[in-house]
Amino acid sequence: MSTFTSSSTDGKNGTTNRTMNATTNRPRHGAGNTRTTKATRRPRLSGMTWLVWRQHRAAFWTILAATVLCVAWMIYQRGQMMDFLDAYGFPAKSLDDAGKQFDPYVGAFSSVTTGLTAIPVILGVLLGAPLLASDLESGTAKLIAAQSVSRNRWLATKLGLAGLVVTVTTVTLSAVFAWWWSPIKLHYADVDWTSREFFNTTGPVPVALSLLCVFGGVLIGVVLRRTLAAMVVTLGFAVALQAVWGYFKLSLGDVVTATSKPVSPGTTITFPSSVPRTAHVLDTSYVSGSGKLFDLTTCTDTLSEEATTSCMKKADIVGASIDYIPISQMSSMQWFGASILFALTAGIVAFLIIWGHKRLV
């Protein structure tokens, strides 16, 4: 509210001086103003971040909702498994003696891990490929380039927001699944920790694979500039990436060799207790006195025990060896491999930023 004041007439000069003073009342610190202040302090998306989120909100919300449902299911399954383990008497009683009683919980692992291993492929095809390809195909990219906002900012916001959603999703799923698996991780030998169902779904690996698939899909979309074609090619890229990763991942570990006492062909080889039950065995062979390795089928085609003994003496077989990777190396292998995948992802992002500044539109 403003107050206006007019002065009186000056008699000597016969002129009238009018003075207008405006005084604005400051808002009082009342309840209404407190509510306004609190409302303005709530975190809200704005500017380019709001625009990108709104453009892809259906995909983002679908990913987050699916993550919440999957987390809830894993928490429920872990509770069921822990109830069984407590009633069974684990870890005092070995799970090897549980037999078919534990099969339903192994089946629950299998159903969840099947979905988790497909996440990088799904995110690459449904989020990465259309992220920029749809804008380039529809002409939205040209409209953005004509505005005051720079192309670098638009591109960085797109990549950053998509990367944030993917990271939050995969980190959450990886942590919850590792929490579910941890009670039996070192005790249940029937689970192969080097398989893609467990190695690719825990630690940093799912995050690294998902980011590489997503940003690889973005790059494919930028090159092809057609959404459907980019999705098809990204599908092939993501599948090939997982195949190559599965082929080379065992080379990330250090192979450990253990030897046993002399044995007879065809009998069970007993290795020292230093070999963990959950170790991933790479190879088992007979060893000669000179260190030469022989296949386990050596001397098994003989017809008598005397012939077998003679064959072993002739080959100078003195024992057996086993090459394995212990589960204790799992974490270091995952981080080493993930660092390579992260480096490849960073290279793709850098290329997108540099190329996008010049030739994106």
Q: So what's the pLDDT on residue 284? A: 86
CA 75, CA 70: separation in Å to the nearest integer? 9
Specify whether the backbone of 316 is left (phi greater than 0), alpha (psi in -120 to 50) or beta.
left
State the pLDDT at residue 169: 96
Contacts of 82 (CB under 8 A, 6+ apart): 183
Query: Is the separation of the CB atoms in 289 and 217 below 8 Å?
Result: no
Cis amide leading into 91 (omega within 30): yes
pLDDT of 302: 65
Asked whether 172 and 262 are in contact (CB, 8 A), the reply is: no
Taking only the tens of pLDDT, the chain with its 361 residues reads 444 444 444 444 444 444 434 344 444 444 455 454 444 455 566 567 888 888 888 999 999 999 999 999 999 999 999 999 999 888 888 888 887 888 888 889 988 999 999 999 999 999 999 999 888 888 776 776 666 667 778 888 899 999 999 999 999 999 999 999 999 998 888 888 999 999 999 999 999 999 999 999 999 999 998 999 999 999 999 999 999 999 999 999 999 988 887 666 656 667 767 788 888 989 888 888 888 888 877 877 766 777 777 888 888 888 888 899 999 999 999 999 999 999 999 999 999 988 876 665 5
- H helices within the chain, ranges in order? 31-41, 47-55, 57-88, 103-117, 119-123, 129-138, 140-145, 151-181, 196-199, 205-224, 227-248, 305-315, 330-359
The string of DSSP letters for 234-267 reads HHHHHHHHHHHHHHHGGGGSPPEEEEE----TTS
DSSP 177-198: HHHHHGGGTTT-TTS-TTSHHH
DSSP per-residue codes, 31-72: HHHHHHHHHHHS----HHHHHHHHHTHHHHHHHHHHHHHHHH
Side chain identity at 110, as an amino acid letter? S
